[in-house]
A and B are shown apart, each in its own frame.
Chain A
């Protein structure tokens, strides 16, 4: 839930205050904001699939040398 709130907040803020700025800058900002939102969405997805107890998990991942 905390994630979501943060995401909504970041959606609401940012780019809106740039009316006086050049169109190009606006575009870049918009792109930056889109990327930011996209990354938020991706991190949400990762949270949903990432193995629990990461520390234990990576500790237990032991292989024999191969080839």
Chain B
């Protein structure tokens, strides 16, 4: 039986400061992240001791240096928030890592809360910049000059499912998932064939099928074996193939469908031969074909389009739903996925209120039609970029949202609440509540640990190896009984 699919996304944003001749992305990121003042102040370390990004899921350790900043730099670059998220500087990008959630709907709520947190801090940071300068932040994945930054998803998996099984059953899904999860991009880059418009922001950047690296020679399936949980029991599938989505509907399907397919892999429910002959070539071809009609060559000699491959997965999922007890959200995801795949089969443009790459394409085509300009016009490239702009008044996705031109999944009230409230059904609850209740006693945090520095005692580290433990149900009483961190540590008797 598949294990619960605890999940969460990590979003890297693009950043620029207009009219700053000495623009430095790293110091701008530090300024942005530190401008966020909504949470109680506390100098909390990110606990790098618990990290090992060099372990490979295929069973070996790769040589390389682990990043361990000094204490001051650590505090300046890392903020752990009371909603359980991590908001930090990753290389030259601001990054928002959502707290762990148990379902696709909560994933949308928390990803959208992240967008608002970034925007709140951008506005604050603007007040700290010299007059005339303007900080801008984009939730996209490329500068269209060959530089890409990611939007990663994480899914908890059963360690007993072999990595080989995952790769074999997931590869055709990951190559073709972009037809409903792509964010769309004008033109191509990174030596991709020239094109007017493509389905995915990221497809141009994948060079290999399976590997550990995420920055050079990017793989479709990433092998980072860092579960941030009990490694005897769990894997964390670190998914780097996705785009940064603006549409709630698209985020919902991206997470919900992927989680469902992974559960099916754990339960051995994918038993059709969909192995692609050349996944790296196919992922680019699918992206470069907004008609979604291009046949892809399978290893067995058959040819199927990306939409037909998705339809095969839908059929398998419908059969799986008959024999397994799926929760209401997953059933809703399945219904919406099946409908979207039907639309793609008929005419992808039917999805111009639901799926990012189609919403953006319809917007740009409408604009070009009225203005009499073509795909290479600078305004068209600007539209592409500004679709992802974090400002509610300027970001074109938000303009469409305000006009009711895109379908939504969650309410504004839920998103606003999630800025200050952790999910209540994972360990993110314990993390967030500890930060809210004991901001000056929390010493350090990582996904699977939290440590306290109380009185003159040695630092006490509490391990959270079970992502579903530390939920409100588990720890609310304990927290209520512990008005101070000293009492919490005592009550935990460690």
Contact = CB atoms under 8 A, between A and B. Distances in A.
Interface in B348-367: 363, 366-367
A50 interface: yes
Interface string B1-42: 000000000001011101000000100000000000000000
B440 interface: no
A40 B104 CA distance: 35
Interface range on chain A: under 10, 10 to 19, 20 to 34, or 35 or more?
Answer: 20 to 34
A65 B148 contact: yes
A46 interface: yes
Contact of B382 (A40, A50, A63): A50
B229 interface: no
Contact of B149 (A57, A58, A63): A63
A57 B382 contact: yes
B152 A62 contact: no
B316 interface: no
Given A42-B366, A43-B367, A46-B367, A63 B379 contact: no
Interface in A46-67: 46, 49-51, 54-55, 57-58, 60-67
B9 to A, nearest CB: 13
B379 A50 contact: yes
Contact of A42 (B147, B149, B403): B403
Contact of A43 (B142, B366, B393): B366
A64 B147 contact: yes
A39 interface: yes
A65 B386 contact: no
A3 B168 CA distance: 54
Contacts of A49: 386, 393-394, 396, 399
B54 to A, nearest CB: 15
Interface residues of B, number: 44
For chain B, what secondary structure do more than half of its interface residues adopt (helix, strand, loop), or is it mixed?
mixed
A16 interface: no
Contacts of A50: 379, 382-383, 386
Nearest to B216: A65
Contact of B370 (A39, A57, A62): A39
Contacts of A46: 363, 367, 383, 396, 399
A19 interface: no
Given A63-B25, A65-B149, A54 B215 contact: no
A54 B371 CA distance: 15
B144 interface: yes
B379 A67 contact: no
B236 to A, nearest CB: 16
A51 B382 contact: yes
A43 B383 CA distance: 11
A63 B367 contact: no
A67 B150 contact: yes
Given A42-B405, A49-B399, A63 B92 contact: yes
26 contacts: A39-B366, A39-B369, A39-B370, A40-B370, A42-B400, A42-B403, A42-B405, A45-B403, A49-B393, A49-B396, A50-B379, A55-B378, A57-B385, A58-B385, A60-B16, A61-B14, A61-B144, A63-B14, A63-B15, A63-B25, A63-B142, A64-B91, A65-B215, A66-B12, A66-B215, A67-B214
Interface of A: 39-40, 42-43, 45-46, 49-51, 54-55, 57-58, 60-67
Kindly list the 10 A-B residue pairs having the minimum CB-CB distance in the complex, ordered from nearest: A66-B149, A55-B378, A54-B382, A64-B92, A54-B378, A67-B214, A63-B143, A67-B150, A39-B366, A66-B93
Given A55-B378, A62-B16, A66-B91, 20 more contacts: A39-B369, A42-B366, A42-B405, A43-B366, A49-B396, A49-B399, A50-B386, A51-B386, A57-B378, A57-B382, A57-B385, A58-B144, A58-B378, A58-B382, A60-B18, A61-B144, A63-B149, A65-B149, A67-B149, A67-B218
